[in-house]
Structure 1
Amino acid sequence: MVLESSKWVMFIVGWLFKNVSCNSVAQKIYVELNNTVPCVRLLNATHQIGCQSSISGDTGVMHVLESEADLEWPLSKGPNPPYMVLLESSLFTKSIMMKMKNASSRVAGVVVVPKTSPPEFSPHTTCPNENTGRSKLVREIQVSNFSYFCLPMRRYYESFYDNAAHLNLTYPSNLSPEEQLEFVTDTAKSLTEVATAVACALFKQAGGNNSQVNKINADPKTVTQMLYGFLVRSNNSWFQAVMAPELKDILQPNPPQYYVGVAKSSHQANALTYLVQYLLANLTGTATNLTQSQCKKPDELPNESTYLYSYLWVQGVVPPNSTQRESFCIRTAVRLVKAVSPAFDLGDYVSKEYSTWTKSQWKFIKARIFLVASRDLEMLADLRRGSGRVVHIATGHILCQYQGRCPLQLRQGTQQPRILIASY
């Protein structure tokens, strides 16, 4: 009986070591936080706003804030400061932020999750903002149609919340991504009417003949494809076809990042800028018969000119029953121009006429959640080194059965999740 028991103990030990070797803590402990948008610091000659992280990053015990009353734990009662406070956007208020700022020794940072949204939010005072020089254009449009567009559909005009969900951009559940791209939504139909009204008003302001106005109509299919590409999934067949081969990697299975800040490189624009450039070139340019080499050096040809046009080599579509794209060259009047404030060209850094804001940010920033080892995990690690007891083996086996993952999974209640914000 003693020998039989020893066999069972050896079997359990072998089972544990086998699983430990392929389920290390290092592989299980970190969770990368993707699609994060870091807070930055904005500065001009007299003021600065925003925030920053420490030069080597910041770490804190994660504390979920469900109400302002929960601040007592990270600010005074919690035994393991500093804390990294996780809160929804509805709690991202001046009152709460000032309380955490005043207790900065106990708060390492704040992570805002845009799970909920305010009833309405826009950086503009009205929709559209009458201070931007559009009041004359609005009068040219049928006011009732434009008001319908602004109020029910654009409560978050040009803000973080101006997204697919708040534009009521929905699709039948049984559609594939490609079918969604082609599906004309109610939102697309409404925006098509608005686009037609705006185009007609611009045509008349530019001196167009009134007899031709009725021929101007926006295409609902184009509108619905643009909505899908910019608000749902940039990596779709249409955007793939109009992009340059070397830029195809900027297309993602999600919307592009809309934050625009100080250029990180003097030679490269951000992904959204390229998307808009190539899309406008596709919609307004002309397809040519130029080869790829000719497209790069069109000035060597008698009837082409880079003074009048820019030339873009794009991927093209994949024909039916083929795997190769039919790439081609587009001749277009669309050009990229650096958005530089005249104040910096003039050296007038206290200008009241031109913008003088600059931005301070890290070249690279990332965040991840990880678990601090509990006493139970330390005991299991001792066992792996050969200094444990049989009771530890049984504990590890039961723990694995309970958690349903691996023997090194931390017991609920003894783990301490932390968030690390790293800057480079």
Structure 2
Amino acid sequence: MTNEQPTLKKALRPIHLWAIGVGLVISGEYFGWNYGWGVAGTVGLLVATLLITLLYFTFIFSFTELTTSIPNAGGPFAYALKAFGPMGALVAGYATLIEFLFATPAIALALGSYVHFLYPSVPVIATSVSSYILFTLINLLGIKEAAWFSLIMTLLAIAELLLFIGVVAPDFKLDNFLHNPMPFGWSGVFAALPFAIWLYVCLEGVAMVAEEVKNEKNAIAKGYISALLTLTILALAVMICVGGIAEWEKLASLDYPLPESIGIVLGRDNPLTKLFASVGLFGLIASFHGIIISYSRQIFALARSGYLPTVLATVSARQQVPYWALLLGAFFGIAALCVLDTSKLVILSTIGAVVVYIVSMLALFKLRRSDPTLNRPFKAPFYPVFPAVALLLAGIALAAMIYFYSWLSLLFFVGLVVIAGLFYASGRYEKSKQEWRVDVP
């Protein structure tokens, strides 16, 4: 990167990274995962979640090596570029954009559903679109302001989930949780993998703000690992508690399973039920806001490297935020939520995620061999076992999604082929390849 290229402001500390990491993902505890009950039952989804939890533990501990070694707003795009060159970078960048750009409208729809639960006269779409407008404007204020907002929303969301667990746990009944536990057998476990991934998806988005982290030893590692531990505890506690409240068929297709659960325990008109649905918006807001930060930085990085129009890498003079990237992401998200339902958005997002994980782990192995002298402030523990386990589980998850959700998978890969074709036909591939050969002998 030359001095003339646009740069981002360094303002983040480990506490901000923890908040962004948890905030990116915490909406997954509020909705989305329960669709997995519809294809696997309670125990089937729990087994899928335990497998995916193992995937994320091995992946994040390995991925942190890449993030700390190559602190670039492009995240997986930058790692793949260094390891595999322009075409590998294109695959990683495309998959990351799909992951984040489709996760955001899913959360927007959940925001609309929560508000509709409270005020039935308010249309879901109206709230969803308004959310995009409001939180894009907040992100235009600057990264430090956006990170502090994320911290506050994340703390409120965690407090709210702890309150939820405290309210419903006494009414947990094992008979409810074990009702029709695996209606589709082991095939249901594999069909449920994208909904289990939803509990953690976008956590690697912390990498997109790596350029904006103040120089502090192991700051990124501290933020990542503390966020993962927090999310694991909350995810398992919420899933088990909700599964014991009522038969899962009553909750498997809702965008608001948590307030509905409290409604079953206390009554839908109970003031605490209404209060929970109101403060439940904090978790959705935290993720919605955090993912907007991440996808805007990914668009910025791709544009800065010439993979997207360079105007998208323009940053504001005062706040130093990529404002065109923010606006484009909002436009795309509003269009997506108008044509796809929540479950399809979740599946598309998680397909993008597992492709990112596969490319990232391959990049880690490649760079360990091709660039052994690369400065690595944090090294993946138990190498090569951890990245190998993450790579294997991500490959299994991708194969399962291709099998069970073939049309959505086809849509993802057709889009990749089209983008790659345009990249090659435009001549940008050859130019990028020459630049890469100069930068990476």
Normalising by the residue count of structure 1, what TM-score does the alignment of the two structures yield? 0.22
Greater RCO between the two (CA within 8 Å, min separation 6)? 2
- Answer 1 or 2: which has greater helix percent: 2
Structure showing greater radius of gyration is 1
